Structure formats: C-alpha cells, structure tokens
C-alpha cells in the first residue's frame, strides 16, 4: 500500500483537486490510501468564526458560514458532472454546514467556547474536504470511499492536542481500511480529527493531518508515506523568508523531527514517530510539480551531508528567567521550576542554565508566559521573600533559531561559524542551547531579528 496525504493547498481549489485525482489514478496499482486536510484557510476560518460567535457577532458568523458553503458547493458544481452524484454530495455538505451553523448558535447562546467545542467546530473542515475529495475521485472513475477518522483513531480528551491511543487505533485502522483496499477501493480518510473512547470529537494539533497520514500509513503497513504539499520538498530554510533556500533530496527522520519541532512548517514534528517505529520512508512531494522527486525522509539517508543542513526559526515565544545568588548549589530548584510549570500546563521548549547556577532560563510559547511567570512567583514566593531568588523575569516576543544536521555530530567549528555569522549580522544572542545529541544548536534572539539571523546563518553555511 501507499499512503498519500494531501495538504490544504493541494485540496484547496479546482485545478489542485483535478491534480489530486490524476495523482491517485496514476498510483492506483500501488493500492493508495488517501488522507486529506481541510481546504486551505478553512480551519482558520472555522476557529476565528467561533470567536465571533462567542462575541455574538451574528452577521460575521452568517457571512463566514455562507463563505464556507459557497467554497464547498462551488467545488461540487465544478467537479462532479453527474447530476445524481452531485446532488448527493451537495445534500450531505449542506447537512454538515447546517450542523456547523447550529454549533455556532449554541456558542452564541451559551456564551461559552471550550476547547472541546473548538474541536467539534474545527472537525468540519476535514469532513467537508474529504467527503468532496472522495466524490471527485469517484467522478474520475476511481472507487473511492470516504472514511471518518473518528471511527478509527482514538485519543485522550486533551482537546486541541489530543494524544493517540496507538494499540486501539492501529487495530481499528487496519480492521477498517484493510478490507476496503483488498476490495480495490481507495479510502479517503479525514486528517487531523479523532475521537475519545466516549465518541467525543478531538483534534491532534494544528497541522496534524501529516501526523494522521503517518499514523494511518504505519497502521496499514504502507510501503511509503507520501506527504503532498505546495513546495518541492524539505528545504534548507523556509522559502518564504530566506532567499536561496534549496530543496534537500534526502534527510533523516531525526533531522526532519528536529527541524519541524523548531519551526519548519513543511511537516508536523510528530509525523516521524509512527514511521520510525515501522521504518517506513516518508516522501515530501509537490502537487504543483508532481514529477519532482521531492525529499525522502528515512532512517539512513545515502548522501551524508555537510555539517549543517537546515536553519529554522520559531516565533511568538517568551523567555522566562529565574535569577538569584541564593540559588547556587541549592538542590531541587530546577525540579521545582519544571514541576510547577507542568502543573500549570506550560510547555517548555528549550532550557539553558549557566554553570554558575545563578540563572536558569527557558523558553515557552508567548501565550503562556504570564501564566508561567505567575506560577513561578507563587512557587518561589518564600524564596523571593528570603532573597534566595531575586525575581522571575519575562522577555517577549523572542524567537528560537535552530541549526540542524546529523553531519554536525562530532564536527568542529559549527557553533563558531554560527555565532560568527550572527555577530556579523549585528544580532544579539539572548540564550543558547545545544543538546548532547549535537544534532542541533538552538539559540534565542529578539523576534525582530529572527529573519535576518536565519538568512545570515543560511548564507554562512552556503546551504
Ligand atoms: P500543507 O497545507 O500542504 O500541509 P503547509 O503550509 O502546512 O502545507 O506546509 C508547507 C509550507 O511550509 C511551504 O509552503 C513553505 O512555505 C513552508 N516551509 C517552512 N519551512 C520550510 C522548509 N524548511 N522547507 C520547505 N517548506 C517550508
Ligand atoms: N486543517 C488542520 C489545520 O489547519 C490540519 C492540517 O491542515 O494539517 O491545522
Ligand atoms: Mg501542513
């Protein structure tokens, strides 16, 4: 089998959807399993509109619902020539959109918008999109069948970023999809969405359809997992911001995981996890340029590269630091910091501590920095009163810039070259971290400096 995930742009308009049908047709002999995202822009619109609903801006809500209706119905009108099939699809799409409008009404009436309702609302993007993809494939003579991932993928109830119950889901996926594929059908599975054991809708994190793709691909023992997107592959830096970014023909799972964790949006960081377990190669491909080889992500890429391979950055972060002479040599400070943050559900993305132990600093998402600082001031209130700790300081917005590459392991001079380039760009480095895996060097700069820093480091390594 070959699992193919199509992203938002790839299912985002009439020409792309025609290309999707052509691609699936081309690979029919490989027994494709399709996973797809919402049409591009739809998830954001669904979520933004729920906030409008909360504010009781009913005109905005009606307008957004009309936009969503038009967007999907115009696809049905353009791509499903058969009257009966088109009417059936339109009927189902209308029903979903009416249901969505009801949910928005509920949010307005109750003036309550919980993570659980956000997931229920967001799920419509993938439902509407995948139902129409299945119908378009059928209209192109392919025996496709829409599959709602909520019937197979089970998660916990951490709405917005739910964790997958793999033993249950793997069995359910292979039980549901195996027979379809053996009958010659092409399943079209909704990305991003899942459900709890009680059948409540969840989502597995923004951009999570890539992850669904690899979860499904691994569960059915696919030969490869292909992620179809809008660029030729994984590049040496984000092509939107860096001039001269180039496509990499191969990278390792670890490199892909590391760079996506540090902001390379091209693939969701968790995508590599199920693939690694079963050693299934992942290929990034471009629906706008399908004959391009793309990037192969595997355990052991053939071409061993120069030291650094990619430079990434991630914005909208904050740095929190705890300082105090009294902290030196006192056991348990770090333990208390990270336990308190974990209790407050604040995710720590990077940690740096100088050996003087006089300062511990770490990076959190900007949206969580006030909660984080408050939690720490409470945790250390006695220590602050006793002047063991001076203060909890917050600086925002900052960015992490990360230089990633397996070739950096054991290579000398990578850090020197990196910080030399940063200094020449006249950018101040706020904090630095390098894991002992040596796979990446990451450092913190003010957000306004991030773009030029990435460009400078990219240029320095001739990536
Ligand atoms: P999809 O909707 O197909 O999931 P995304 O927008 O999530 O697509 O991801 C693809 C985008 O990721 C590209 O258009 C590109 O702008 C961006 N991107 C960021 N960093 C990189 C990188 N290092 N290599 C390739 N693309 C990148
Ligand atoms: N539609 C979802 C999102 O925008 C999932 C995805 O596109 O991967 O986050
Ligand atoms: Mg994506």
Q: Give, using CA atoms, the residue closest to atom 5 of ligand 2.
A: 207
Reply yes or no on whether the pLDDT at 52 is more than 90. yes
- How far is the centre of ligand 3, averaged over its atoms, from the C-alpha of 6 (Å)? 9
Q: Does residue 434 have a pLDDT over 80?
A: no
pLDDT of 221 above 90: yes
- For ligand 1, whether the C-beta of 256 sits within 6 Å is no
Give the atom of ligand 2 at the shortest distance from the alpha carbon of 126.
1
Q: Return the pLDDT at 356.
A: 63
Averaged pLDDT score across all residues of the chain = 94
Per-residue confidence at 206, pLDDT binned at 50, 70, 90? very high
- SS3 for the chain, per residue? CEEEEECCHHHCCHHHHHHHHHHHHHCHHHCEEEEECCCCCHHHHHHHHHHHHHCCCHHHHHHHHHHHHHHHHHHHHHHCCCHHHHHHHHHHHHHHHHHHHHHHHHHHHHCCCCHHHHHHHHHHHHHHHHHHHHHHHHHCCCCEEEECHHHCCEECCCCCCCCECHHHHHHHHHHHHHHHHHCCCEEEEECCEEECCCCCEEECCCCCHHHHHHHHHHHCCCCEEEEEECCCCCECCCCCCCCCCCECCEEEHHHHHHHHHCCCCCCCHHHHHHHHHHCCCEEEEECCCCCCCCEEEECCCCCCCCCCCEEEEEEEEEEEEEECHHHCCCCCHHHHHHHHHHHCCCCCCEEEECCCCCEEEEEEEHHHHHHHHHHHHHHCHHHHHCCCCCEEEEEEEEEEEEEECHHHCCCCCHHHHHHHHHHHCCCCCCEEEECCCCCEEEEEEEHHHHHHHHHHHHHHCCC
pLDDT per position as a tens digit, 266-305: 999 999 999 999 999 999 999 999 999 999 999 988 866 6
Give the model confidence (pLDDT) of 372-406 as tens digits.
Answer: 999 999 999 999 998 888 889 999 999 999 999 98
Q: Is the CB of 209 under 6 A from ligand 2?
A: yes
Ligand 1, atom 11, lies closest to the CA of 266
Beta carbon of 255 within 6 Å of any ligand 1 atom: no
For ligand 2, atom 8, name the residue with the nearest CA: 207
Q: Whole-prediction pTM value? A: 0.93
Instruction: Please list all protein residues whose beta carbon sits less than 5 angstroms from ligand 3, which is an ion.
Output: 7, 207
Q: Is 231 in the pocket of ligand 1 (CB under 6 A)?
A: yes
Say which range, 59-68, 185-194, 233-242, 425-434, has the weakest mean pLDDT: 425-434
Percent pLDDT > 90 in the chain is: 85
Would you state the pLDDT for residue 306?
A: 64
Q: Is the CB of 239 under 6 A from ligand 1?
A: yes
- Position 304 scores a pLDDT of 64
pLDDT at 157 over 90: yes
């Amino acid at each position: 089998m070959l699992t193919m995930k199509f992203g938002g742009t790839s299912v985002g308009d009439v020409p792309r959807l025609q290309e999707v049908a052509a691609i699936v047709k081309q690979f029919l002999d490989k027994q494709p399993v399709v996973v797809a995202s919402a049409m591009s822009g739809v998830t954001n619109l669904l979520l933004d509109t729920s906030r409008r609903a909360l504010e009781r801006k009913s005109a905005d809500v009606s307008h957004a619902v009309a936009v969503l209706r038009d967007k999907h119905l115009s696809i049905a009108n353009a791509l499903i020539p058969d009257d009966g099939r088109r009417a059936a699809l339109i009927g189902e799409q209308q029903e979903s959109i009416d249901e969505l409008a009801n949910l928005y009404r509920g949010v307005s009436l109750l003036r309550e918008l919980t993570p659980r309702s956000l997931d229920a609302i967001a799920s419509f993007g993938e439902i509407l999109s995948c139902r129409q993809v299945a119908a378009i494939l059928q209209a192109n003579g392919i025996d496709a069948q829409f599959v709602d991932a909520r019937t197979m993928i089970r998660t916990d109830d951490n709405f917005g970023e739910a964790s997958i119950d793999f033993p249950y889901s793997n069995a359910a996926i292979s039980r549901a999809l195996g027979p379809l594929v053996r009958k010659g059908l092409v399943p079209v599975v909704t990305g991003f969405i899942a459900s709890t054991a009680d059948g409540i809708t969840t989502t597995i994190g923004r951009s999570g359809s890539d992850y669904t793709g690899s979860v499904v691909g691994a569960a059915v023992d696919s030969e490869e997992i292909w992620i179809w997107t809008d660029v030729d592959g994984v590049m040496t830096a984000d092509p939107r911001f860096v001039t001269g970014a180039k496509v990499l023909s191969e990278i390792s799972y670890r490199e892909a995981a590391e760079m996506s964790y540090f902001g390379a949006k091209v693939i969701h960081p968790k995508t590599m996890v199920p693939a690694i377990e079963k050693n299934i190669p992942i290929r990034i491909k471009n629906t706008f340029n399908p004959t391009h080889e793309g990037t192969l992500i595997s355990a052991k890429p053939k071409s061993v590269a120069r030291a650094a391979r990619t430079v990434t950055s991630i914005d909208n972060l904050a740095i929190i630091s705890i300082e105090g002479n009294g902290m030196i040599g006192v056991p348990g400070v770090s333990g208390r910091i990270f336990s308190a943050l974990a209790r407050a559900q604040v995710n720590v993305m990077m940690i740096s501590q100088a050996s003087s132990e006089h300062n511990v600093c770490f990076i959190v998402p900007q949206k969580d920095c006030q909660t984080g600082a408050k939690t720490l001031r409470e945790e250390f209130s006695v220590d602050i009163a006793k002047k063991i700790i001076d203060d909890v300081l917050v600086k925002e917005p900052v960015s992490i810039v990360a230089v990633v590459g397996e070739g950096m392991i054991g290579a000398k001079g990578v850090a020197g070259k990196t910080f030399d380039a940063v200094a020449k760009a006249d950018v101040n480095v706020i904090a630095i971290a390098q894991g002992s895996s040596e796979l990446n060097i990451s450092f913190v700069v003010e957000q306004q400096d991030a773009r030029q820093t990435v460009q400078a480091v990219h240029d320095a390594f001739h990536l």
